[in-house]
Amino acid sequence: MSPNMKSQHGIFDVDLFAKASADANVNQTTSPFLIAVSGDPQRTKHYTAQEQPQFFADLATYNIPNNPTTTCWVDIDFSVLTEHQYNQLCQLLQMHAVTKRDCYVEDVSVTDTKISNFIKYSFCIVDTLVHSSITSMDSTESMDSTESMNSVETRNLNVIKYNQCVVSLHRGAMPGPSEMYNRIVDHHRYKIPSVEWIQWCAFDCLLGSLIPHIDQIVQDVEEIDQQSIPVDPNTKLNQSEILRNISMARKKLRKLTSSLSSKIEVLSVIIQQTKSKSQNILVHLLAVESEVKWKIARVKATSET
């Protein structure tokens, strides 16, 4: 076996272990800014919202759009930035106007997963589902408290891959970045295998964040099925409640189907690009593509039920 193949499978084994040992309760990002420099714990740092000026100053030193020599990953929760500060960030990263808008304008009702290639970077959106920020008190006119608590909305992780750095941007705390950081620190000893690895890791972690939603909807549908055909024939059915639960389940299944289907489309593009550029990460991408297909099959079976 060639050294490259050994290295490839070695990384894959590490990532499989990282995935298997991950906490089932997906953590969410708490610090709005992160700069992770491959193999350098001293320069890997979280920044609070109050440290935003220092973060901008440090970020400028890496000259990310112009091929820095050090592989790094930058994660940004831009919900703490003013519109002026966000524009400054986009200027610093030399983001195209289309990318700038796609990151900033987020539709929480539909999946936005996509991929685009620009001169200095490739840009893709990887989405997940989070519990709706609408509270039952704010939504009494449109839905009751139970439906409000069970509602989910789309949250995007915008992944911008430069030659030697990846920048991920999102609006508000979300699952994904913290798990990505834990894998780098705990399982790769602060080393970032490649920028392609970070892009793959975003898909892998956000796919993992959908698993609790899939498990919950499968359980919900099984309960609806049991309510619809009670064991005791004398049991009186609450048809309005059953129909309401079916309606809520359909909404969740549509969002899950949309999120998973779009991931397959984007992964297919990335895999085709990777075949001619980087073989080392191809095994990771094929594995996560296969996992997405299994998740789609599970959601489809639940929809049929």
Res 226: pLDDT: 84
Q: Which of 58, 39, 38 is nearest to 47 (CA)?
A: 58
| 15-36 pLDDT per residue, tens | 888 888 776 555 566 789 999 9
**Is residue 120's pLDDT more than 80?**
yes
Res 276: pLDDT: 72
- Tokens (6 digits) for 113: 């997963």
**Is residue 88's pLDDT more than 90?**
yes
Res 46: pLDDT: 96
Q: At 244, is the secondary structure helix, strand, or coil? A: helix
Decide: 170 and 177 in contact? Cβ < 8 Å: yes
CA dihedral (40, 163, 49, 212) in degrees, to 10, reads -90
pTM of this structure = 0.87
How far apart are alpha carbons 150 and 128 in whole angstroms?
Answer: 15
What is the helix (H) or strand (E) element at residue 12, kind and residue range? helix 3-20
Q: What b/e sequence results for 206-238 when a residue is b if at least 16 CB atoms lie within 10 Å of its CB, and e otherwise?
A: bbbbbeebbeebbebbeebeebeeeeeeeeeee
Across the range 168-184, mean pLDDT stands at 94
Across the range 47-69, mean pLDDT stands at 92
Res 202: pLDDT: 96
Greater pLDDT, 178 or 4: 178
| 224-267 pLDDT per residue, tens | 888 887 767 777 778 888 899 999 999 999 999 999 999 999 99
Across the range 265-271, mean pLDDT stands at 94
Residue type for position 255: K
Round the CA-based radius of gyration of the chain to a whole number and report it: 21
Burial class for 20, CB neighbours closer than 10 Å (0-12, 13-18, 19+):
exposed
Res 148: pLDDT: 46
Residue type for position 60: A
pLDDT bucket at 268, cuts 50 / 70 / 90: very high
Non-local (6+) Cβ contacts of 96 within 8 A are 118, 123
Non-local (6+) Cβ contacts of 86 within 8 A are 78, 104
Greater pLDDT, 8 or 130: 130
Decide: 154 and 148 in contact? Cβ < 8 Å: no
Across the range 211-216, mean pLDDT stands at 94
Range list of H helices, 237-280: 239-275
Res 114: pLDDT: 85
pLDDT bucket at 141, cuts 50 / 70 / 90: very low
Q: At 190, is the secondary structure helix, strand, or coil? A: coil
- Tokens (6 digits) for 259: 């999120």
Res 147: pLDDT: 53
In the chain, what are the domains? 3-304 (3.30.460.20)
pLDDT bucket at 70, cuts 50 / 70 / 90: confident
**Is residue 2's pLDDT more than 60?**
no
**Is residue 140's pLDDT more than 50?**
no
| Strand order across the beta sheet in which 165-170 lies | 45-47, 33-37, 72-77, 165-170, 152-161, 122-131, 114-117
What percentage of the chain exceeds 70 in pLDDT? 87
